[in-house]
Amino acid sequence: MNLPRSSFYYPPKEKTPSQQEHQKTLEGRIEALCLEFPCYGYRRVTAQLHREGLLINHKKVLKIMKANDLVCRPHRKWVRTTQSDHGYPLYPNLLKNYQVTAINQVWVADITYIRITSCFVYLSVLLDLFSRKAIGYAVSQSLHTSLTLQALGMALSQRNPLQGCIHHSDQGVQPLGNMSKC
């Protein structure tokens, strides 16, 4: 026939009525599985269809689930890391209407957490506001004052700032007890 071998694999332009009926049946079964087991992803749905005797490719199951908006989306728990309503004294914001024109004029600090496979670790970072470069950082499994002091010590040893350098933070307090230990 002098046709390229790849043309054998092209899908037909129009589906026959029996193919359309099979597609509708398959979509209905996948939707029923997704309603019965809302946390099932396409791999589990494919495995269940295989257990039921339907031979179907996981890519086709994923395509059908995407087309019918049945893909499982994991819900991530939001963890509060900063407590802004605390009883400690608040200091005035020295950065209001302040133009940063050179390095070592303003350093900004913050603490965040990083989820690793078994637990959370804490990261304290100091950035030079002008260059946006991390000038000091520290990582720890516990949230203690020493974490921020290590980051500040690294920044001081690398930069040696002049008198008048502003150290700015969000002035929040990190609540303890909401992160799992390693």
The tally of domains found in the chain comes to 2
Instruction: Based on the fold, state whether residues 149 and 61 are members of the same structural domain.
Output: no
Instruction: Based on the fold, state whether residues 97 and 22 are members of the same structural domain.
Output: no
The pLDDT tens digits for 23-78 are: 899 999 999 999 998 888 999 999 999 999 999 999 999 999 999 999 887 776 66
The domain boundary residue, chosen from 24, 43, 67: 67
Q: How many helices (H) and strands (E) does the chain have?
A: 4, 4
pLDDT of 30: 94
Instruction: Based on the fold, state whether residues 63 and 83 are members of the same structural domain.
Output: no
Instruction: Based on the fold, state whether residues 40 and 130 are members of the same structural domain.
Output: no
Q: Please enumerate in sequence order all residues whose Cβ is within 8 A of that of 72, keeping only pairs 6 or more positions apart, or say none.
A: 34, 38, 39, 40, 41
Domain containing 129: what range? Answer: 78-182
Instruction: Based on the fold, state whether residues 58 and 104 are members of the same structural domain.
Output: no
Predicted TM-score (pTM) of the model is 0.52
- Strands 120-128 and 106-115, how do they pair? antiparallel
pLDDT of 78: 67
Instruction: Based on the fold, state whether residues 97 and 182 are members of the same structural domain.
Output: yes
Instruction: Based on the fold, state whether residues 171 and 127 are members of the same structural domain.
Output: yes
**Considering the domain boundaries, does residue 6 fall inside one?**
no
**Considering the domain boundaries, does residue 7 fall inside one?**
no
